[in-house]
A and B are shown apart, each in its own frame.
Chain A
Amino acid sequence: MPDTRKLKYDESALRTLTAEDLDALEIGAGILGTGGGGNPYMGKLLALEALKAGYKMQILATDAIESDALCMSIGGIGAPVVGVERLREGREGLRCLRAMEDLIRTPIDAIVCEEIGGANSMNPLVTGALGGLPVLDCDGMGRAFPEMQMTTFSIYGHSSTPSVMCDLHGNAVIFSHAVSEVGHERMARACVVAQGGAAMLATAPMQAHYVHQYGIPKSYTKAIALGEAVIKARRQQEDPIAAVCDLEGGRRIFTGKITDLKRHLRGGFAVGDLELAGFDDCSGQTAGVAIQNEFLIFKRNGKVEVTVPDLIVLLDVDTGYPITTEMLRYGQRVAVVAIPAPELLRSSRALEVVGPSAFGYPDIPFSPLPTASRKAA
């Protein structure tokens, strides 16, 4: 297809990311992954290789692009544990981009991140770099969630089909229409098993004004700042956990050791229950965290205190590095930090899709964390 693209943004508004930014993003995205979303490390390595090969990774504010620009959101789909063994080929996202442009016969202007939490923070950057497109500074979750219909883009009415799903072999699957977002998720999930457990999926493009209105704002700058704060605190031997709380309006709600961890499988998801015994300020208390790929519900002494979509983050007590559900081990010392979810995830419309009831807790109401102390990123 001839490239008839004309720039729909001012190039001076682009922020070019460095290798140091990617290191910070790895940590920040891990924190926002709330235990899930997969490890960003492999994605970071691919991004670093792209940088070394001379590609540019650039992010752009959502209001710095013309409102009718066409933006395609992209993310990895599959099992993280497969991804660390069967590495990606590297150009799956680029093939999704080209297949989508062929399908809709229109060039794409910018790439959008589906999920800033975890591995999916890196995928759009690699796709954008290889495809010569900027990545908008926003995402569809502001954290990690297990399923595709849980993006703000889907929640507020965008239909994610037609979509394109590419695996490492070069297979490309097009979902031309799904009657519901959940239906799309189910079909994609079935397909990814045939593709070996991991693939990249690009959803139907959106116009920039929609992304600006319904995307979680400034996800990349926020995640990078979070990672930088942890790195800086560690370098200056200050408390990295306090630095995380400061930046995100979060609160350190518990400090404890893991005393029990039960895991099982329910409907293809890693489900589990974590028990903690408090020490330091929390000595004598117990806490529980319910897991469904991500940390969903936090209880203190048996009483619910924080629920999804607010962010429940487990950090290593000493280093401040995020702990994913796959890294959980008996005896680990963790700090639990609660961060208020972005407003777009707290509406009644959003709570139907990402509130406690959507994860099988119909009896637990969402009681939002106070947001007063949140600082601007």
Chain B
Amino acid sequence: MYRVGIDVGGTNTDAVVLKDKTVLAGVKASTTEDVTSGVIEALEKVIEASGIDRARIGAVMIGTTHFTNAVIERRHMDEVAAIRLGLPSGAGLPPMVDWPDDLREIVGNHGYQVKGGYEFDGRELSALDEDEIVRIAGEIRGKGLKAAAVTCVFSGINDHMELRTKEILQAQCPGLPVVMSKDIGRHGLLARESAAIMNASLLSLADRTVAAFGKALEAAGITCPFYITQNDGTLMAADVVRAFPVLTFASGPTNSMRGAAFLTGIKDAVVVDVGGTTSDVGSLSHGFPRQASTTVDIGGVRTNFRMPDVFSIGLGGGSLVVEKESGVVVGPKSVGYRVRQDALCFGGTTLTATDIAVASGKADVGDKALVAGLDKGLVSAAAAKIDAMLEACVERSRISSTPVPVIAVGGGSILMPDRIGDLTVIRPENFAVANAVGAAIAQISGETDRVFSLIDGRTRESALAEAEAEARDKAIAAGALAETLEVIEREDTPLAYLPGNATRIHVKVVGEMGGHDA
């Protein structure tokens, strides 16, 4: 059986075919407006290049920036009801309070605050005002809203009120999709609520997009199930994406870093993904990207999704090289994807970082003769500058002084020297399609993040065990093989200023996807 990985980016749609641990072929196609035809083109190209029998494709994994881009570009978002259960808490901070005005308008600004919610120890904050939910349901029908997002204070401790609200809404508005915050976010009400609202507003786009992917596969005669990657480098079944499109946010950098780990077999490394205009640098730890600790902005909204801690600099294959009085400057201006027309070595008229790599003998692309006349002093100064820029950002991403390899991926990684400081640079085969490879090898995860009360004989240890069991159950329900599960994140944070009876525990487990070999 084969696995196919597809990365649907803003410019390119890449595809790879894997058999066990081997990449049989990797191709690039252009991303198209309708998504479908770009995917079909990439699929056909990669099937042809690998020469496989398409009937023997066991699974297709797709990574996409489609939903992130929808929020960033304010497109394809529906008007939805944003219902918060928690009054009187939060009365002064209505739903979407910290959103940019234009985005709040796009989703209709239908915020509702209702009595309900829990305290940190599970007590009721207020009894749920069910009559108010019924009234809101009437407004949803009246306004013709497409979906609802329900967020209850401390739903991580008790999800009953979110469930009950969904039940009432769906009884009143048959067929209304209702997103519950407990399924999406973690501790921290505003960020979780915002994620739930964005999710609700993307549901119909998710429906259409998943259908477009399905159509592309069908057109290519592929009948196996397909999956979509989420921000932590793990997979969701296509039907899960229909329900939770926001979980795909920022899956791009994750896939390229995971792909780099797979292509090299290295689990701890610094990964440099060099594109046309920028380079993204991050750290791999145990085969997974190290996560950012600060809140992550999506289209101007604070979320608490786990995102890779990636650092970007303005250096890529198309970066302009300019001589100034102060010395040679490389980037951040770039010819971007036009490098194959504009760079000197491709017959263009612009001196780019790629030309420096070719002139200094580091890379062999285009026509070497076209850059032979470049001033030797300029070439060596620019090459030194590029090395210094790469070294500085690699240094920043190193987790410890233990030497780890540097893995270079992405189309522009010909710029990378063979060594960076004391670190060896590895350039795997298929480096240009590492993100599609990352999608192809994604795993299944399960996660728990909530506050546990350490009462009635529950200790910190038993609470951790309870959290892990929950996370494992979630992973297995999502399709993971139980025997492959391992814990990749486990942390507990005691709640300050409260007696020693409450702690916030976060556990994440990952495992291989069931149903075929990986």
Contact = CB atoms under 8 A, between A and B. Distances in A.
B92 A263 contact: no
13 contacts: A45-B93, A45-B98, A79-B120, A81-B495, A85-B153, A86-B153, A86-B189, A87-B190, A90-B93, A193-B499, A265-B503, A316-B294, A331-B283
- Please list the 4 inter-chain residue pairs (A to B) with the smallest Cβ-Cβ separation, ordered nearest first: A90-B92, A87-B90, A265-B494, A270-B496
Nearest to A38: B496
Contact of A257 (B153, B190, B399, B493): B399
A268 B496 contact: yes
B188 interface: yes
A359 interface: no
Contacts of B503: 265
A269 B209 CA distance: 48
A188 B238 CA distance: 52
A377 interface: no
A82 interface: yes
Interface string A329-364: 111110000000000000000000000000000000
B154 A86 contact: yes
Contacts of A264: 494
A270 B400 contact: no
Contacts of B283: 331
A306 to B, nearest CB: 22
Contact of B93 (A42, A79, A332): A42
A75 interface: no
A279 interface: yes
B395 interface: yes
Contacts of A259: 400
Contacts of A79: 120, 495-498
A332 B166 CA distance: 40
Interface in A308-342: 316-318, 321, 326-333
Contact of A268 (B309, B311, B493, B497): B497
A189 interface: yes
Interface of A: 42, 45-46, 49, 77-82, 84-91, 146, 168-170, 189, 192-193, 196-197, 257, 259, 263-265, 268-270, 277, 279, 293, 316-318, 321, 326-333
B10 interface: no
Contacts of A78: 497
Given A89-B92, A192-B497, A84 B187 contact: yes
A85 B86 CA distance: 10
Contacts of A197: 119-120, 495, 497-498
B143 interface: no
B92 A88 contact: yes
Nearest to A49: B92
B462 interface: no
B89 A193 contact: no
B86 A86 contact: yes
Interface in B442-471: 451
A333 B396 CA distance: 8
Contacts of A265: 494, 500, 503
Nearest to B498: A79
Given A197-B119, A197-B120, A85 B188 contact: yes
Nearest to B454: A265
B424 interface: no
A82 B399 contact: no
A270 B494 contact: yes
B189 A85 contact: yes
B281 to A, nearest CB: 12
Contacts of A82: 120, 495, 498
Contacts of A87: 86, 89-90, 92-93, 153, 189-190
Given A87-B190, A90-B92, A327 B497 contact: no
A85 B504 CA distance: 12
Interface string B272-300: 00000000000101000011011000000
Contacts of A88: 89-90, 92-93
B293 A269 contact: no
Contacts of B220: none
A85 B192 CA distance: 9
A178 to B, nearest CB: 18
Nearest to A280: B395
